[in-house]
A and B are shown apart, each in its own frame.
Chain A
């Protein structure tokens, strides 16, 4: 069950021609896929295209209406390999994954796919951004497009353009027998907007037809001599075909082309930002009417030489606004202009920073510098045109900086992964620190305070693999952490099986919370949920034993700190050789709450006895040391001013958002902290027995408490 339900929004996918679609960018992409007549869609979740996968999962009835096969791929490589269906058959297919991290994993399949080429349109939708929304912000799928010679689209970030890019992408792919990548920036995926829908299209050729009459063509297989031919094909046929198509369909756009003798070149994805920068310079209005000639590349790769020749015609200089390093586009443009012996001067990274996101302020500075150099704007702009950025005194900004802390993401309230790291911290006190390799997933938040655990993260599912070198007789064992998502993504083979084969002695902790929680709580093989369209319930333990691990321990309730610590201690000290695998199981609390809350509400309404648990801290016994917070970090465990007039340190406090996971109590027991924690059980609809007991004990307790209170009252002042 995914974090967000799109059941309501999915209805928009049935809109017909002429109706107005209003919603998020990623939903519009899904609609565009249906309008393009795809036969299959696959992908691996990850922000921002997680939502696309979730939309598809919630839209399975629509997909089956249209005979579309939808796959939750095991990895990006699986997703990319799925596109093999378009090699021999006129089947349109799309796959989706997150950013360069996904492209990296998929690159083997993508290289082979691009080599043989496709018959049916093959679209790779990559949720990718440069900067804030990216996981490895300096890397770009652009490089993969270049090396494998796939075409890369980067449309302007508004819904009509994005939808059109999907459709153009399929046509371009078919026209040039080449897979096409569609890069969607994170804010574009989540942008709210509108477009006029078309009717959904059913593919004329079906998967069933393909299976009924299998086709093969040895020339499409990447093996000599065919592979030599592919290289030639790419250069001699597919590339020219793509260039022709891009020109004819006018995928790239020219604005105010002849309005001046300087011009700006930008990728579609950065267009809105550029327009805002020009707007601030007084050179464009809010409708995009620009005084400066613009060449907008909705196709980021390949570059179209003719179009550059056309744009540079009569221009003294152009500025290429390209995020990232190396500056692939700028280098390519330099090459084009040089061959043309064009007198137009090329600017780019000489006027803009080499690294970092090109936000509006950065673009503004770069464009202004460019225009000033050619006398297009005054060297010293008038007061009102200056960005009203107040020069803040160093002292003031330092004072503010000291009082504004970074707020990185962390474990949720009641997260079952937190106790694993608490246990590691506590065991560390006994056995000393160990080398810990981390993985990708929620558990990676352990590298941040308060846990500060984990030395490297090499990639999704590679936690165990990245401890491979740390095997030496008689040395302390290295610890690897891996989530269930990473485990099934590739951790089982690259980490566990590899450790078995190479006789590793290390410990791998597999965090099994029943979902790929970091990407939004999707189901995977080992999920315990009953999923009507997927096969779940395949235990990680069976897989681990299946590849030959002997030492496998399972902790079925991670909140049980004592067992967690004992198992860790055992794993790190046992004389037994060979890889150790500790499977730490507890359901993701976000999902659990989402699952249980409606049930509880129903039970309460039906008058059933329901017990809610939550923790609390007694302010008069808490001394404000905050050990509990350092060992937990739960968002609902916080601090508040000390009500004691004699004390100054803030005390710990539990917010009402507490879900009563029990860790606070376990920690105070295991670490011998303090007696301040209490667990309250709040009983709704108490039974007769409950009421009777309460009355009985209340009589005695109330009498004693009343007596004591009166005594204290006597001495009060």
Chain B
């Protein structure tokens, strides 16, 4: 069978997008761009799914007019074929990964344009710890698979120009020069569309510029500012950090000091340093990784989230400003902030001085009465005077924090945990490191905190029982298992599997 030589090919463009990202608009622009200049253009998609946050592919083919074939209509495909796509446009980075995975991006011909921002999948979002995928892997494969990769944060570009990602992508497509139309012709397409023309053109220009390599020069990463304490007491603490710790772990220790001064006061930060210095003495300062991790987790534990802390953070002026920015309120608009709080009897007891708190937590009449009053969550309007004063007054109780029941409980837990680390630090630093990391389980509030603490207690008990036979990696695995399922099933299975029960 005689092969046909030099078959003319349409330009094949695949758009991978999620619902609401304007993939359809982008496809329509490309079709209009072609048709307006006498080209044949065909687009199709599988909508329906995309409208509800699912990922979908829009596919466009463009064919220049051929005088010799004026009467005949081209037969264009309705779906992309792996290895046979000229341009792939992705509105998000994982979608670019999907395009590569589906084989739509090939090094011999495909120009891949993708935004580098992430729209997290439900699996990434729902993880109990950090379930995010590796952005570098996605970029690496995109780079390897494509003939040419154009990638930048298009969500940011859209945000800054007050437009949408599709307009930025359309601009980037123009900038790559893979479709033989002029910038003017591209821009006229947007104008013909007639919706949001001005911001679209701005976003288009941004995309075009970025693709042509004319993006604004990246700002140099700001060098870490040297600490510049105003208070002599703070300076003294920092001095101690400089003396006892190396550069790398010292940075984390300084953050810890900063956190604990902010959380409580200078003596509390000093206690933090006392503890870390005792660890340094134990290891002889020879284990910067352990020191760094303990510094991090100890600071987090010592700044446990109690009602005083929450009230403090919620009432700060900087926080009010942040909310104003986050909700994008304009100057002439007013913003009110309503907090969702759920103080239960447990939190109330823990905020009281330990004796009183312990008394109240016993099941008597007053306990029951207060418990009944606190079964429901409350909404507190911090931006109003009564709401603000309530929380602000609570935040002042910081002065009495050391007397509270919660402080007593947490301090005992910290001592036990830290004591274990100290005991293991010299002889078994790898296990000490895993013990330090167990702190990660204890986080959150209310039920979440109780669940995490329960898991932590289980693992500590387990550690104390089997200390001589447990490998550090095993403890690490158990920690991950505890983080893997909310109902604790994964942890139970893991414990059973290891036959340690």
**Chain A residues at the B interface, C-beta cutoff of 8 Å:** 3, 22, 47-48, 50, 132-133, 157-158, 160, 185-188, 190-193, 260, 271-273, 275-276, 279-289, 291-292, 359-361, 364, 371, 376-377, 387-390, 396-397, 399-412, 442, 445, 448-450, 520, 562, 614, 616, 618, 620-621, 623-627, 629-630, 633, 635, 637-639, 645-650, 656, 664-665, 668-675, 677-684, 686, 690-691, 693-694, 696-697, 700-702, 704-706, 708-709, 712-717
Q: How far is the CB of A139 from chain B (nearest CB, A)?
A: 18
Q: Nearest B residue to A271 by beta-carbon distance? A: B75
Q: Is the CB of A621 within 8 A of B129?
A: no
Tell me the bound Cα distance from A58 to B452 in angstroms. Answer: 56
User: Is B184 in the interface zone, CB < 8 Å from A?
Assistant: no
| Given A633-B125, A683-B335: 14 more A-B contacts, CB < 8 Å | A47-B47, A190-B45, A272-B76, A286-B76, A400-B101, A409-B52, A410-B54, A449-B126, A450-B126, A630-B126, A671-B447, A681-B338, A682-B327, A697-B384
Q: Is the CB of B81 within 8 A of A665?
A: no
Q: Is the CB of A705 within 8 A of B315?
A: yes
The 9 closest A-B pairs by CB, nearest first: A669-B377, A705-B317, A409-B54, A672-B446, A47-B48, A282-B3, A360-B81, A405-B121, A717-B229
Contacts of B75 in A (CB 8 A): 158, 271-272, 275-276, 286-288
Q: How far is the CB of B223 from chain A (nearest CB, A)?
A: 15
Q: Is the CB of B9 within 8 A of A639?
A: no
Q: How far is the CB of A577 from chain B (nearest CB, A)?
A: 31
Contact of A702 among B122, B299, B317 (CB under 8 A): B317
Q: Is the CB of A192 within 8 A of B9?
A: no
Q: Is the CB of A360 within 8 A of B300?
A: no
Q: Nearest A residue to B41 by beta-carbon distance? A: A192
Q: Is the CB of B334 within 8 A of A621?
A: no
Contacts of A670 in B (CB 8 A): 377
Tell which of A3, A133, A276 has the most Cβ of chain B within 10 Å.
A276
Q: Is the CB of A675 within 8 A of B133?
A: no
Q: Nearest B residue to A273 by beta-carbon distance? A: B77
Q: Is the CB of A701 within 8 A of B78?
A: no
Q: How far is the CB of A303 from chain B (nearest CB, A)?
A: 24
Q: Nearest A residue to B2 by beta-carbon distance? A: A291
Q: How far is the CB of B34 from chain A (nearest CB, A)?
A: 11
Contact of B125 among A388, A409, A639 (CB under 8 A): A639
Q: Is the CB of A669 within 8 A of B231?
A: no
Q: Is the CB of A678 within 8 A of B338?
A: yes
Given A282-B7, A647-B300, is A701 in contact with B385 using a C-beta cutoff of 8 Å?
yes
Contact of B261 among A271, A388, A715 (CB under 8 A): A715
Contact of A614 among B327, B389, B444 (CB under 8 A): B327
**Chain B residues at the A interface, C-beta cutoff of 8 Å:** 1-5, 7-10, 18-19, 28, 31, 35, 41-55, 63, 69, 72-79, 81-84, 94, 97-98, 100-101, 103, 106-109, 119-130, 132-134, 137-138, 141, 145, 227-231, 234-235, 238, 252, 255-256, 258-259, 261-262, 266, 296, 299-300, 305, 309-310, 313-320, 323, 326-329, 332-342, 344, 376-377, 379, 382-385, 388-389, 392, 440, 443-448, 452, 486
Q: How far is the CB of B362 from chain A (nearest CB, A)?
A: 21
Q: How far is the CB of B40 from chain A (nearest CB, A)?
A: 9
Q: Nearest A residue to B130 by beta-carbon distance? A: A649
A-B contact count (CB 8 A): 379
Tell me the bound Cα distance from A360 to B80 in angstroms. Answer: 8
Given A405-B124, A616-B327, A686-B334, is A192 in contact with B82 using a C-beta cutoff of 8 Å?
no
Contacts of A412 in B (CB 8 A): 52-53
Given A407-B121, A669-B377, is A717 in contact with B1 using a C-beta cutoff of 8 Å?
no
Q: Is the CB of B54 within 8 A of A627?
A: no
Contacts of B256 in A (CB 8 A): 646
Q: Nearest B residue to A705 by beta-carbon distance? A: B317
Q: Nearest B residue to A48 by beta-carbon distance? A: B48
Q: How far is the CB of A93 from chain B (nearest CB, A)?
A: 26
Tell me the bound Cα distance from A715 to B486 in angstroms. Answer: 40
Q: Is the CB of B130 within 8 A of A650?
A: yes
Tell me the bound Cα distance from A697 to B385 in angstroms. Answer: 5
Contacts of A679 in B (CB 8 A): 337-338, 340, 379
Contacts of A706 in B (CB 8 A): 317
Q: Nearest A residue to B68 by beta-carbon distance? A: A287
Given A376-B1, A403-B97, A635-B53, is A715 in contact with B338 using a C-beta cutoff of 8 Å?
no
Q: Is the CB of A399 within 8 A of B335?
A: no
Q: Is the CB of B107 within 8 A of A639?
A: no
Contact of B79 among A360, A405, A674, A696 (CB under 8 A): A360
Q: Is the CB of B122 within 8 A of A377?
A: no
Given A621-B310, A627-B444, A673-B446, is A678 in contact with B337 using a C-beta cutoff of 8 Å?
yes
Contacts of B55 in A (CB 8 A): 407
Contact of A403 among B9, B138, B261, B299 (CB under 8 A): B138
Contacts of A705 in B (CB 8 A): 315-317, 320
Tell me the bound Cα distance from A618 to B74 in angstroms. Answer: 57
Q: Is the CB of A683 within 8 A of B333?
A: yes
Q: Is the CB of B127 within 8 A of A715?
A: no
Q: Is the CB of B10 within 8 A of A286?
A: yes
Q: How far is the CB of B384 from chain A (nearest CB, A)?
A: 6
**Could you name 6 residue pairs across A and B whose Cβ atoms are closer than 8 Å?**
A287-B72, A388-B84, A400-B138, A629-B125, A668-B377, A704-B315
Tell me the bound Cα distance from A204 to B330 in angstroms. Answer: 63
Q: How far is the CB of B328 from chain A (nearest CB, A)?
A: 6
Tell me the bound Cα distance from A629 to B123 in angstroms. Answer: 10
Q: Is the CB of A187 within 8 A of B42?
A: no
Contacts of A669 in B (CB 8 A): 340, 342, 376-377
Contacts of B486 in A (CB 8 A): 627, 630
Tell me the bound Cα distance from A361 to B77 in angstroms. Answer: 12
Contact of B340 among A387, A389, A677, A708 (CB under 8 A): A677
Contacts of A376 in B (CB 8 A): 1
Q: Is the CB of A668 within 8 A of B342?
A: yes
Q: How far is the CB of B13 from chain A (nearest CB, A)?
A: 13
Tell me the bound Cα distance from A260 to B440 in angstroms. Answer: 72
Q: Is the CB of B106 within 8 A of A714?
A: no
Given A360-B84, A409-B53, A626-B125, is A673 in contact with B447 using a C-beta cutoff of 8 Å?
yes
Given A133-B46, A387-B84, is A646 in contact with B299 using a C-beta cutoff of 8 Å?
yes
Contact of A410 among B53, B258, B309 (CB under 8 A): B53
Tell me the bound Cα distance from A371 to B327 in angstroms. Answer: 63
Contacts of A621 in B (CB 8 A): 305, 309-310, 313-314
Contact of A132 among B1, B46, B337 (CB under 8 A): B46
Given A287-B74, A387-B84, A675-B314, is A191 in contact with B340 using a C-beta cutoff of 8 Å?
no
Contacts of A702 in B (CB 8 A): 317
Q: Is the CB of A389 within 8 A of B82?
A: yes
Q: How far is the CB of B343 from chain A (nearest CB, A)?
A: 9
